[in-house]
Amino acid sequence: MSAEFSSPTLSRGPRGLMLEGVALADIAARFGTPTYVYSRAALVAAFDAYRHALDGRPALVCCAVKANSNLGVLSVFAALGAGFDIVSGGELARVLAAGGRADRVVFSGAGKSRAEIRQALRAGIHCFNVESAAELDRLDALAAEAGTAAPVALRVNPDVDPRTHPYISTGLKRNKFGVAFSEALPLYRRAAALPHLRVRGIACHIGSQLLDSAPVVEAAGKVLALVDQLAAEGIRLDHIDLGGGLGIRYRDETPPTVAAYLAPLLELFGERPEELCFEPGRSLTGNAGLLLTRIEYLKPGEEKNFAIVDAAMNDLARPALYDAWHDVAAVVARDLPPRRYDIVGPICESGDFLARERNLAVEEGDLLALLSAGAYGMSMSSNYNSRPRAAEVIVDGEAAHLVRERETVESLYALERPLAQG
Ligand code: LLP
């Protein structure tokens, strides 16, 4: 990729970095920092890439809500007719509040509670991606109680190595997700026999930040063989869900385009009638968002120079958690000799870094943008150190819309009370 930035709508102009038609400096002045900023055009373009690639065949693109669960972001996808992949009752509530359609929701996750299952049955979701025999039984019982039949897919574990970070690889036998391939057939028979289940589909998700479609094609091949085996027994599925996983460029990775990623899968599927589902997260929102932060202090040292910023690991956990790389860009370029900095936050942990060893020409008070932060950024944030979480803004052309207010300190302890002591 030759563009200066991985984000398609980020550029550098006379007023510094611009997301679409809005200067990041103006966003900081108006909303403060730290602030997550997303580009609506980039969100739409990412979704459209899936839509166009799947054009002409029955397909459903379910945005993985865990990657970015802001109502503003979800509403952009809902308006495009997206489906959603959820892993909790909380995410279902968010989808509905954002205008998403329940009948386009798939519910993944190995630990669905009774309350969450009831909530999803009431809402009338598209499908439960069931991850164990015990969950099948629970779902059947709760559907009976609700006087309905629950739509189910089994999430199978194709035991394919996705060749990604071990923390985000999910399709191997040793992972807790899905049911073993060898158990799938008997479990489908059991599901088909349970009176309050409607067997609808099959699902798999092998991992995240995949930079090549080969492992997914391998998994899909195994899944299709199973689908045909089921059909031979009279268990016919109407959708095949291949999960999420397509990676993005954070640094110098060269992930395939959405079209190139999907092409071998579409070829494999040919004229098959089943609806093809995907659950992309990172590839929809990752490069559509950045974290805007301000330098509080510059702290030169003998071994290292630190730029201490007002964002921290509670805002963006990926560097601390996965040693993940996020590009750092000074919002306004300065005519200074660059220096090498570790970008760190105010939290009392050595792991509180956002980036290491970056050459930057900056002064105290300058703004920095941590790029490719639109996925698993805000959605993984916390209040550690009693830090109110960041504001979130969506830019749309020349306009900037606040889609989440900055938290207040009072809201952090609003549900707590001092212990009354005798
Ligand atoms: N579907 C299922 C069942 C999943 O478990 C996931 C992600 C997705 C879809 C979306 O995958 P994506 O398209 O975003 O790769 N926190 C980590 C990523 C964890 C991914 C967990 N599952 C990170 O920041 O890299």
Tell which atom from ligand 1 comes closest to the C-alpha of 282. 14
pLDDT at 1: 39
According to DSSP, the residues that pair with 310 across neighbouring strands are: none
Cα 283 to ligand 1 centroid, rounded to whole Å: 10
SS3 243: coil
pTM of the predicted structure, to 2 decimals:
0.96
Cα 325 to ligand 1 centroid, rounded to whole Å: 17
pLDDT at 159: 85
Cα-based distances in Å from 409 to 11, 242, 292, 388, 413:
34, 41, 20, 6, 7
**Distance from the Cα of residue 350 to its chain's centroid:** 26
pLDDT at 404: 98
- Stretch (H or E) spanning 268: helix 258-269
pLDDT above 70 covers a percentage of the chain that reads 96
- Measure the CA–CA gap between 243 and 66, rounded to whole angstroms: 13
In one letter, which amino acid is 385?
Answer: N
pLDDT at 162: 76
pLDDT at 174: 61
Mutate to test the pocket of ligand 1, among 66, 248, 318, 322 (most ligand atoms within 8 A of CB): 66
Label the pairing between strands 150-157 and 275-278: unpaired
* Alpha helices (H) along 86-213: 89-97, 114-123, 133-145, 181-193
Cα 67 to ligand 1 centroid, rounded to whole Å: 7
- The pLDDT tens digits for 251-273 are 999 999 999 999 999 999 999 99
Active site residues: 348
Tell which atom from ligand 1 comes closest to the C-alpha of 87. 3
- Measure the CA–CA gap between 171 and 108, rounded to whole angstroms: 14
Cα-based distances in Å from 170 to 16, 162, 330, 378, 420:
40, 8, 36, 22, 46
pLDDT at 168: 53
Tell which atom from ligand 1 comes closest to the C-alpha of 280. 13
Tell which atom from ligand 1 comes closest to the C-alpha of 208. 15
Contact 26, 400 (CB under 8 A): yes
Residue located nearest, by CA, to atom 9 of ligand 1: 244
Q: What is the DSSP string of 288-338?
A: GEEEEEEEEEEE--SS-EEEEES--TTT--HHHHH-----EEESS--SS--
- The pLDDT tens digits for 15-67 are 999 999 999 999 999 999 999 999 999 999 999 999 999 999 999 999 999 99
Mutate to test the pocket of ligand 1, among 87, 108, 128, 208 (most ligand atoms within 8 A of CB): 208
Cα 244 to ligand 1 centroid, rounded to whole Å: 7
Tell which atom from ligand 1 comes closest to the C-alpha of 247. 15
Helices (H) and strands (E) in the chain, counts: 12, 21
Contact 295, 362 (CB under 8 A): yes
Q: Which residues line ligand 1 (CB under 6 A)?
A: 64, 67, 85, 108, 168, 170, 205, 208-209, 243-246, 279-283, 318, 322, 375-376
Spans in the chain with pLDDT lower than 50: 1-2
Cα 353 to ligand 1 centroid, rounded to whole Å: 22
Residues 6+ apart with CB under 8 A from 187: 133, 136, 154, 179
SS3 72: helix
Return the number of other C-beta atoms located less than 10 Å from residue 33's C-beta. 22
Cα 279 to ligand 1 centroid, rounded to whole Å: 9
**Domains of the chain by start residue, with CATH:** 10-39+286-412 (2.40.37.10), 108-280 (3.20.20.10)
Exposure string (b/e) for 332-371, b if CB count within 10 Å is 16 or more? Answer: beeeeeeeebbbbbbbeeeebbbbeebebebeeebbbbbb
Residue located nearest, by CA, to atom 18 of ligand 1: 168
Cα torsion 324, 327, 330, 334 to 10°: value is 120
Contact 137, 167 (CB under 8 A): no
